[in-house]
């Protein structure tokens, strides 16, 4: 067992005397030795043909674990955060649009990467999140492939699509992508690492052997920061560099706004200054207070995540005035520079400690990293303040309501906001967890998706259903009390209304 004082020191909250420090250092060495022995045992349980791969992945985990033990405090000294330089973030409106004659040449230097490791469990779906239907019977993956195919056909290029899968999504994704064989899209996949969850008290792996399928709960994909090393290990990074491709555009597969942007690509390929890493940021609103932000630290531009913020500064971190931008996780990274950073062993990403409780009540921790945290490791890093339309993630059914509605039209796999929408911002939607959080339940509650063109804010709580042709405008709040049910009739127009359990309609 690891002593409580060691756990606190690892977490950075303990201040100890010199005698205690010596004890803790010895305990840390002991923990590392035990872990390495246990990981060696796990490797030995793998079939001989798989042992080299398992050993490589567990070596990566050992490196993470060593750093986890060594980190004795927050990775950022709050007092040393500097003001962002005036040229740290470029306004998207200031970027030049390339002429049509150079687009063919430019696009052939690009690789599109989608982070496809997540499951749809938070929305009540089984299998990869990318196969959830989001619009016109098309999935996230369908829309992505449509976008790339349209790009390739329009400009007579061959932009490859790369999917980073996890052990959770790989098998299903490989089956799904067969249906795209006859399309004008070259699709590659690779798997990110698979790391063992560790017992929070003993800091030892809970896995008994390396057969992931026998105990899925004992393993986890270690966050999208694992992209760089796994991309290299797959051989794809070397392949694309040898082909003369220069940049990859990385984004989450559930961000429907993350399409290839030729203005940003033009900035990367035709700028006087080399930018090896560009992060798309957008203006922070009160809905984004937990999102990562850009800071200047030790003369470098870097990503600051809420997990790195000392407790006493969390409210300041959430301030829209102090930190104006947040990370969309749309990233553009120079491919040869990734090779250089890995070769120089310069990729030291901040560790995110993610605590979980398993179905048997056991408390475990996952050591993860974020793909955007690599920003500080690259030369000429830059933020680009993009329109909000480039950040359209679907994390909950409330997001699904928006992308399925008449707020957007679908064009070549891309969602375009309706010109009839008077405001550039999307409505704020809150749907009650008990009745709306799962996709299947959510769909059963709408005869069809309401007209949201003039909606500012919608809150729905309780047992509520919507008839056909409902129109919601301004601020609409619908609350069915426990035991009550509210059926919004077909054709209803609710504008600035509060609908409560007894169907009284009040002006808001």
Answer whether residue 240 shows pLDDT above 90. Answer: yes
pLDDT for the residue numbered 83: 84
Flag the least confident range among 9-13, 256-260, 381-385, 412-416.
9-13
User: How far apart (Å, rounded) are the C-alpha atoms in residues 503 and 487?
Assistant: 9
> Which DSSP state fits 344?
T
- Of 323, 322, 334, give the one whose Cα is nearest residue 294: 323
User: Where residue 407 falls among pLDDT bands split at 50, 70, 90?
Assistant: very high
- Of 254, 227, 219, give the one whose Cα is nearest residue 111: 227
pLDDT for the residue numbered 123: 86
CA distances from 387 to 93, 304, 413, 419 (A): 9, 21, 19, 15
pLDDT for the residue numbered 470: 96
Is 308 in contact with 350 (CB distance < 8 Å)? yes
- pLDDT (mean) for 64-84: 82
- pLDDT (mean) for 227-243: 96
pLDDT for the residue numbered 17: 45
> Which DSSP state fits 71?
-
Higher pLDDT, 335 or 433: 335
Predicted confidence (pLDDT) per residue in 6-33, tens digit: 455 455 433 344 555 666 566 777 888 8
Helix (H) or strand (E) holding 101: helix 100-107
Answer whether residue 74 shows pLDDT above 50. Answer: yes
pLDDT for the residue numbered 385: 96
- Of 160, 155, 144, 148, give the one whose Cα is nearest residue 106: 155
Q: What is the mean pLDDT of the chain?
A: 89
pLDDT for the residue numbered 1: 40
pLDDT for the residue numbered 23: 60
User: Where residue 393 falls among pLDDT bands split at 50, 70, 90?
Assistant: very high
Helix (H) or strand (E) holding 387: none
Structure tokens at 182: 């006859």
User: Where residue 505 falls among pLDDT bands split at 50, 70, 90?
Assistant: very low
Is 327 in contact with 224 (CB distance < 8 Å)? no
Answer whether residue 485 shows pLDDT above 60. Answer: yes
- Of 372, 484, 488, 476, give the one whose Cα is nearest residue 430: 476
pLDDT for the residue numbered 32: 87
> Residue 370: is it exposed, middle or buried by C-beta count within 10 angstroms (0-12/13-18/19+)?
buried
Residue positions annotated with a catalytic role: 395
Is 434 in contact with 404 (CB distance < 8 Å)? no
User: How far apart (Å, rounded) are the C-alpha atoms in residues 494 and 452?
Assistant: 11
- pLDDT (mean) for 103-122: 93
Is 237 in contact with 341 (CB distance < 8 Å)? no
User: How far apart (Å, rounded) are the C-alpha atoms in residues 443 and 122?
Assistant: 15
Helix (H) or strand (E) holding 131: none
pLDDT for the residue numbered 292: 87
Is 61 in contact with 39 (CB distance < 8 Å)? yes
Which residues of 318-400 form beta strands (DSSP E)? 325-334, 352-357, 363-368, 382-385
Predicted confidence (pLDDT) per residue in 336-367, tens digit: 999 999 999 999 898 888 889 988 889 999 99
3-state SS of 136-172 is CCEEHHHHHHHHHHHHHHHHCCCCCEEEEECCCCHHH
pLDDT for the residue numbered 21: 63
Structure tokens at 482: 């426990």
Predicted confidence (pLDDT) per residue in 257-275, tens digit: 999 999 999 999 998 899 9
Higher pLDDT, 289 or 224: 224
Is 422 in contact with 450 (CB distance < 8 Å)? no
Answer whether residue 317 shows pLDDT above 90. Answer: no
User: How far apart (Å, rounded) are the C-alpha atoms in residues 334 and 346?
Assistant: 15
- pLDDT (mean) for 179-195: 94
User: How far apart (Å, rounded) are the C-alpha atoms in residues 178 and 261?
Assistant: 27
User: How far apart (Å, rounded) are the C-alpha atoms in residues 115 and 380?
Assistant: 24
pLDDT for the residue numbered 14: 38
Helices (H) and strands (E) in the chain, counts: 14, 27
Higher pLDDT, 253 or 50: 253
Separation of CA 450 from chain center: 29
Is 127 in contact with 135 (CB distance < 8 Å)? no
User: How far apart (Å, rounded) are the C-alpha atoms in residues 370 and 295?
Assistant: 16
User: How far apart (Å, rounded) are the C-alpha atoms in residues 249 and 453?
Assistant: 31
Predicted confidence (pLDDT) per residue in 129-172, tens digit: 999 999 989 999 999 999 999 999 999 999 999 999 999 899 99
User: How far apart (Å, rounded) are the C-alpha atoms in residues 451 and 160?
Assistant: 37
The dihedrals phi and psi of 122, each to the nearest 5 degrees, come to -65, -20
pLDDT for the residue numbered 241: 97
Neighbours of 354 (CB within 10 A): 15
Residues 6+ apart with CB under 8 A from 57: 193, 194, 195
């Amino acid at each position: 067992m690891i002593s409580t004082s060691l756990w606190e020191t690892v977490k950075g909250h303990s201040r100890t005397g010199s005698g205690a420090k010596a004890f803790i250092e010895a305990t840390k060495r002991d923990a590392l030795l035990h872990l390495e022995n246990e990981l060696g045992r796990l490797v030995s349980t793998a079939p001989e043909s798989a042992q080299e791969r398992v050993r490589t992945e567990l070596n990566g985990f050992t490196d993470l674990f060593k750093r986890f033990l060594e980190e004795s405090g927050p990775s950022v000294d709050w007092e040393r955060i500097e003001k962002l330089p005036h040229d740290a973030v470029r306004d998207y409106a200031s970027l030049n649009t390339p002429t049509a004659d150079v687009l063919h040449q430019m696009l052939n230097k690009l690789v599109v990467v989608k982070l496809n490791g997540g499951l749809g469990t938070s929305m009540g779906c089984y299998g990869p999140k990318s196969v959830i239907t989001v619009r016109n019977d098309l999935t996230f993956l369908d829309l992505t492939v449509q976008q790339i195919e349209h790009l390739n056909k329009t400009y007579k290029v061959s932009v490859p699509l790369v999917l980073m899968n996890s052990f959770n999504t790989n098998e299903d994704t490989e089956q799904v992508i067969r249906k795209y064989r006859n399309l004008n899209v070259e699709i590659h996949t690779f798997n990110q690492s698979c790391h063992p969850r560790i017992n929070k008290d003993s800091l030892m792996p809970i896995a008994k052997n390396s057969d992931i399928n026998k105990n899925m709960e004992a393993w986890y994909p270690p966050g999208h920061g694992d992209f760089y090393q796994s991309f290299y290990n797959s051989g794809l990074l070397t392949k694309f560099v040898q082909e003369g491709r220069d940049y990859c555009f990385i984004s989450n597969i559930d961000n429907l706004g993350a399409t290839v942007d030729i203005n940003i690509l033009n900035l990367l390929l035709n700028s006087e200054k080399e930018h090896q890493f560009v992060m798309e940021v957008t203006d922070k609103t009160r809905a984004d207070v937990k999102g990562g932000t850009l800071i200047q630290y030790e003369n470098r531009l870097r990503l600051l995540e809420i997990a790195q913020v000392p407790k006493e500064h969390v409210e300041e971190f959430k301030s829209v005035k102090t930190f104006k931008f947040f990370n969309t996780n749309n990233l553009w990274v120079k491919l040869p520079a990734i090779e250089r950073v890995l070769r120089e062993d310069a990729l030291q990403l901040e560790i995110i400690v993610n605590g979980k409780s398993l179905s048997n009540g056991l408390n475990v921790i996952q050591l993860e990293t974020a793909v955007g945290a690599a920003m500080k490791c690259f030369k000429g890093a830059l933020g680009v303040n993009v329109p909000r339309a480039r950040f359209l993630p679907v994390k909950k059914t409330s997001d699904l309501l928006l992308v399925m509605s008449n707020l957007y039209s679908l064009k070549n796999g891309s969602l375009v906001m309706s010109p009839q929408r008077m405001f550039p911002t999307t409505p704020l939607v809150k749907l009650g967890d008990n009745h709306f959080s799962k996709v299947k339940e959510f769909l059963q509650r709408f005869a069809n998706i309401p007209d949201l063109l003039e909606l500012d804010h919608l809150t729905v709580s309780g047992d509520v259903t919507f008839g056909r042709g409902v129109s919601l405008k301004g601020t609409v709040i619908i609350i069915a009390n426990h035991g009550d049910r509210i059926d919004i009739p077909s054709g209803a127009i609710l504008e600035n209304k509060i609908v409560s359990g007894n169907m009284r309609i009040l002006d808001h």
